Amino acid sequence: MKKLICFLVVILACTQVALSQSREVKVLKANWKFQKGDFEAAHKVNFNDSKWESVTVPHDWAIYGPFDKNVDIQKVAIVQNGETIATEKTGRTGALPHIGTAWYRNTFNLPKDVKGKKIILLFEGAMSEPQIYLNGKKVGEWAYGYSYFYFDVSQFIQEGANTLSVKLTNKEFASRWYPGAGLYRNVSVIIKNNESIDQWGQFIKTPFISEELAKVNIKTKVSGENTRLVTTIFDAEGHKLNSSESTIQFGKEFDQNIKVVKPKLWSPETPYLYKAVSQLYVGNELKDENTTVFGIREIKYEANKGFSLNGKSTKFKGVCLHHDLGPLGVAVNKAALRRQMTILKDMGCNAIRSSHNMPSFEQLELADEMGFLFLAESFDEWAKPKVENGYHRFFEEYAEKDIVNLVQATRNHPSIVMWSSGNEVPDQWGEEGVKRAKWLQEIFHREDPTRPVTVGMDQVKATIESGFGALLDIPGLNYRVHLYDEAYKKFPQGFILGSETASTVSSRGIYKFPVVQEKMKQYPDFQSSSYDLEACSWSNVPDEDFVLQDDKPWVIGEFVWTGFDYLGEPTPYDESWPSRSSYFGINDLAGLPKDRYYLYRSRWNTKEPTLHILPHWNWEGREGEITPVFVYTNYNSAELFINGKSMGVQKKNKNTPQNRYRLMWMDVKYEPGKVKVVAFDDNGKAVAEQEVRTAGKPCQIVLNADRKTITANGEDISFVTVSVVDKNGIPCPTATNQLKFKVTGAGTYRAACNGDATSLEMFNKDTMKLFSGKLVVLVKSTITAGDIKLEVNGAGLKSGKLTLNALK
């Protein structure tokens, strides 16, 4: 009998209130001083940093460029890509100046009664190898740039002013993609009593869920003697539901069970969240208070059945995401993350894999709130290296500590439904790798027995032979579609996860002829065709994965590589220059959807119609030549018209994977004018239509904001899509005009991005060329409320103007 894996859990999203009567959390965003370079005395309190740059944190020092092919030239054979001969790679880590040492300094004030308090210094991400000094004394260090970590700095603090200094070092050949540089996530000082709830010391789960009630089990580790804990649960509307008071500890841990009547279950469709408030007392004196948002849900993984959520069979319709946010670099920004996830939600995506590192707290909070299943990953390397200065240098000393921090910091998020201990690690070969996989998985189980563990495996044959794949809770296959059936037969789990799929490459709005399916295809302009038929040597086009998802009930879903383009890893042009960002994204680096977005939407978004035509219809010089037309739609048939003349009706069929999921008119000859498609329902009734027209010369700049009202907090961002139309208002899909941006009022210009992987224009400059007729401008709020005015100009074009509003 095949192994049954069943995990039930109710989880909470660990979101701490910034200020309560008993504790204070100071997020150190402002007043930072920054300087790149190594300064021997920079950790000293009296060090003169007056000439250093003033920055806010989160901060990525490398994103401001310039792009330079000499930043990280690597002569290497990428084993994961099947390469056996070393070649020169450029742009592999984004060609941005992330290598070197830099210092950050901040002076913050603590209240007069701080002596005798417990002071925690929390870092959510520091790239990389941070060394931390407080008031001139070293308080600790870490290694992994993606890890969250904290120190108890009570012995180092003083009343009044305190000087924090952070040294960061990025080595060359330390990453396979753009890692960023700097304090790219939040830094916080937590002030609380000695009698308090431990950092990440609370774990909530539910051993029982029914329609009538849920049993919420809350284990809380605390410090201090003679304490009692009162925990109260509130619903989403703020109504008090139930509470529990405990005075008995089991090994410095309270164990409470609280009933929730008629629980509303968390899911991607209904991400309902509760709130738990835990108060720690000594006698009648409140010593600490912790507020957490949580969701109730049940997960199961069963042989031959797959994954179920709250008793409902569910497939992962997921994407992989690297941690950079395009023109913002790796500096975390919640508005940028929300925009990404809103785009994914509209596509019908229900899951995200953090690749190949720990996710940000902000991303997990949004996943809980917006309804995304989450695969939280840890490492891209174990003990065997992929790159010269990768994580293998730290594995033996830090792997357990990094996993413990990952799990304890995030295990209370309802969105997380599995962990990953690694991605395509070279340790897949040999006995030592099997032992490492078992050791890491057992650490995850010890810290969180409620969720399974996977590894993204690309060496499937090797893991079948060695037993590596058999010991995992969830066997994750990266590509290898031809080995799914064999893996299912030989692995004991009874299901397979597509932990990384597709790796199709395309450039938004770029189309190449003739239209044929190819691998590792290269063109003189260093772009890839948006007909979505080009993939890498090790990978495949989306349709081949769709077949597996639809026809194999034991395939529990997929995580596509990738949801958005990212900086670095410009395959298939990693030996070419200029080329400094990926082509894998369903959306480009600016967050603009490629045609492939609509292919996935037509299959994943089952609630709304999709009807999308490609290519554009501006092909001067191709008159009379074969120019195939594809339609991505969730309707099964449609009729195509060119200037009113029918090109016939196409119906989806199972002749090939492409015919099953796309409507394709392969013999269309180009003539300027109008392309129209009319879609039919299953009864043959015309129910929807879409058209594309040939545009004239660019005439007018058009601005379209994702949000016209933003928050005046100095962090919020409106993403404004900039395009041009002709005199009749028809979009110009091939426009490459150079544009200039100006922001006035209660906002600032933050960055721009056009999605072109070959562009060397810097994101922070106030000018950029359109790519395939579009780009995106990022307008950031200040801390002042009021109107924000954006004006975009270009030679020979009517200006585009837009007013945004920033509210307190």
Question: Are 32 and 171 in the same domain?
Answer: yes
Distance (Å, whole) CA 803 – CA 229 = 51
CA angle 414, 589, 631 (to 5 degrees): 90
Containing H/E element for 234?
Answer: strand 227-234
Q: Please give the residue range of the domain that contains residue 326.
A: 315-604
SS3 615: coil
Question: H-helix or E-strand containing 597?
Answer: helix 595-604
DSSP 80: G
3-state secondary structure 470-522: HHCCEEEEECCHHHHHHHHHHCCCCCEEEEEEECECCCCCCCCCCCCCEECCC
DSSP-H helix ranges across 381-420: 395-410
Distance, in Å, from the CA atom of 804 to the CA atom of 786, rounded to the nearest integer, reads 9
125: CATH: 2.60.120.260
Interior angle at CA 367, CA 362 and CA 369, nearest 5: 95
- The secondary structure of residue 139, as a DSSP letter, is E
Task: Return d(Cα 430, Cα 667) in angstroms, integer.
Answer: 52
Q: What is the DSSP string of 764-806?
A: TSSEEE-BTTEEEEEEEE-SS-EEEEEEEEETTSB-EEEEEEE
Q: Which amino acid is at 743?
A: V
Q: What is the mean pLDDT of residues 286-307?
A: 95
- Which of 693, 721, 737 delimits the end of a domain? 693
Report the C-alpha gap between 502 and 320 in whole angstroms. Answer: 11
Instruction: Say yes or no: 119 and 228 in one domain.
Output: no
* Residue 510 near residue 528, CB atoms below 8 Å: yes
Computed over every residue of the chain, the mean pLDDT equals: 95
Q: Which of 682, 592, 567 is nearest to 634 (CA)?
A: 682
Query: How is the beta sheet containing 767-769 ordered, strand by strand?
Result: 709-711, 800-807, 786-794, 738-745, 767-769
CB neighbourhood size of 605 (10 A): 18
Amino acid symbol at 29: K
Q: What would you report as the CA-atom Rg of the chain, rounded to the nearest whole angstrom?
A: 27
- Are 647 and 567 within one domain? no
Helix (H, G, I), strand (E, B) or coil at 151: strand
If one counts the domains in the chain, the total is: 5
Interval 260-281: pLDDT, tens:
999 999 999 999 999 999 999 9
Residue 775's alpha-carbon distances to 584, 590, 633, 697, in angstroms, are: 18, 7, 26, 18
Q: Which position among 129, 195, 381, 424 bears the catalytic label?
A: 424
Clarify whether residues 655 and 735 are in a common domain.
Answer: no
* Active-site position among 362, 381, 500, 639: 500
Strands 316-321 and 351-354: parallel
Decide if 424 is catalytic.
yes
Q: What is the pLDDT of residue 14?
A: 35
**Does residue 73 lie within any of the structural domains?**
no
Cα–Cα distance measured from residue 663 to residue 611, given in angstroms and rounded to the nearest whole number? 11
Does any domain span residue 204? no
Residue 1 pLDDT > 50: no
Q: Report the sign of the C-alpha dihedral through residues 387, 392, 398, 404, in that order.
A: positive
519 and 435, same domain (yes or no) = yes
381 is catalytic: no
- Percentage of the chain lying above the pLDDT 90 cut: 93
Domain check: are 718 and 793 in the same one? Answer: yes
Q: How many Cα atoms sit within 13 Å of 472 on the Cβ side?
A: 31
At residue 206, the pLDDT reads 87
Question: Please, what sign has the CA dihedral across residues 66, 67, 69, 71?
Answer: positive
798 alpha-carbon distance from chain centroid: 37
- 522 Rama sector, left if φ>0, alpha if ψ -120 to 50, beta otherwise: beta
- Of residues 5 and 95, which shows the higher confidence score? 95
DSSP string of 715-748, one letter each residue? --EEEEEEEEE-TTS-B-TT---EEEEEEEESEE
Of 18 and 433, the structure prediction assigns the larger pLDDT to 433
Neighbour-count burial of 369, counting CB atoms closer than 10 A to its CB (0-12 exposed, 13-18 middle, 19+ buried) = middle
Q: Both 689 and 714 in a single domain?
A: no
pLDDT band at 77 (very low <50, low <70, confident <90, very high): confident
CA distances from 506 to 23, 44, 246, 480, 525 (A): 50, 50, 58, 21, 13
Q: Does the residue 432 lie in any domain? A: yes
Number of other CB atoms surrounding residue 358 within 10 Å:
27
Q: Contact at 8 Å (CB) between 338 and 362?
A: no
Q: Is the pLDDT at 19 greater than 90, yes or no?
A: no
Residue 426 has pLDDT above 80, yes or no: yes
Q: What φ, ψ does residue 562 adopt, rounded to 5°?
A: -135, 170
pLDDT band (50, 70, 90) for residue 21: low
Closest CA to 9 of 306, 201, 216: 216
Distance from chain centroid for Cα 351: 10
The pLDDT tens digits of the residues spanning 744-777 come to 999 999 999 999 999 999 999 999 999 999 999 9
How far apart, in Å, are the Cα atoms of 645 and each of 642, 649, 693?
5, 12, 14
pLDDT tens for 711-723 read 999 999 999 999 9
- In a shared domain, residues 642 and 709: no
Q: Which of 661, 693, 725 is the last residue of a domain?
A: 693
For 760, the token pair is 């060397």
Closest CA to 128 of 166, 73, 72, 176: 166
Whether 289 is in a domain gets the answer: yes
Q: Tell me how far the alpha carbon of residue 229 is from its chain's centroid.
A: 36
- Say which residue, 73 or 67, is predicted with more confidence: 67
Distance CA 254, CA 374 (A): 28
228 and 179 part of one domain: no
pLDDT at 39 over 90: yes
Beginning with the edge strand found earlier in the chain, give each strand of the sheet holding 11-13 in spatial order.
11-13, 285-295, 274-282, 227-234, 240-246
Of 192, 225, 245, the domain-final residue: 192
Q: How confident is the model at residue 82 (pLDDT cuts 50, 70, 90)?
A: confident
Residue count of the chain: 808
More confident residue, 34 or 206: 34
The average pLDDT across 73-88 equals 79
Inter-residue long-range contacts of 395-400, CB under 8 Å, 24+ positions, other chains counted: 397/143, 398/142, 398/143, 398/144, 398/147, 399/440, 400/443
CATH of the domain at 532: 3.20.20.80
* Residue 79 binned pLDDT confidence (cut-offs 50, 70, 90): confident
Residue 564 lies in a domain: yes
In the DSSP assignment, the letter for residue 362 is H
The pLDDT score that the predictor gives to residue 120 is: 98
Kindly state the DSSP code that residue 454 receives in the 8-state scheme.
Answer: E
Task: Report which of 750, 753, 773, 534 is spatially closest to residue 658, judged by C-alpha positions.
Answer: 534
Q: Are 603 and 648 in contact (CB under 8 A)?
A: no
Could you count the other beta carbons within 10 Å of the beta carbon of residue 155?
9
Q: What is the DSSP letter of 112?
A: G
On whether both 663 and 552 belong to a single domain, the answer is: no
Specify whether the CB–CB gap between 676 and 689 falls below 8 A. yes
**Span 71-91, average pLDDT:** 81
- Whether residue 206 lies inside any domain: the answer is no
Paired tokens of 587: 């959306």
Where residue 740 sits, what CATH number does that domain have? 2.60.40.10
Both 668 and 522 in a single domain?
A: no
Q: What is the pLDDT of residue 6?
A: 46
- For residue 8, the model assigns a pLDDT of 44
What is the pLDDT at residue 560? 98
Given a cut of 60, whether residue 9 has pLDDT beyond it is no
Please indicate, yes or no, whether residues 333 and 448 belong to a single structural domain of this protein.
Answer: yes
User: How confident is the model over 22-46, as a mean pLDDT?
Assistant: 96
pLDDT value, residue 16:
33
Residue 415: predicted pLDDT:
98
Query: Has residue 147 been placed in a domain?
Result: yes
Under DSSP, is residue 143 helix (H, G, I), strand (E, B) or coil?
A: coil
Question: 211: which residues sit within 8 A by CB, 6+ positions away?
Answer: 262
Tell whether 205 is covered by a domain: no
- Give pLDDT, residue 522: 97
Statement: residue 741 has pLDDT above 70: yes
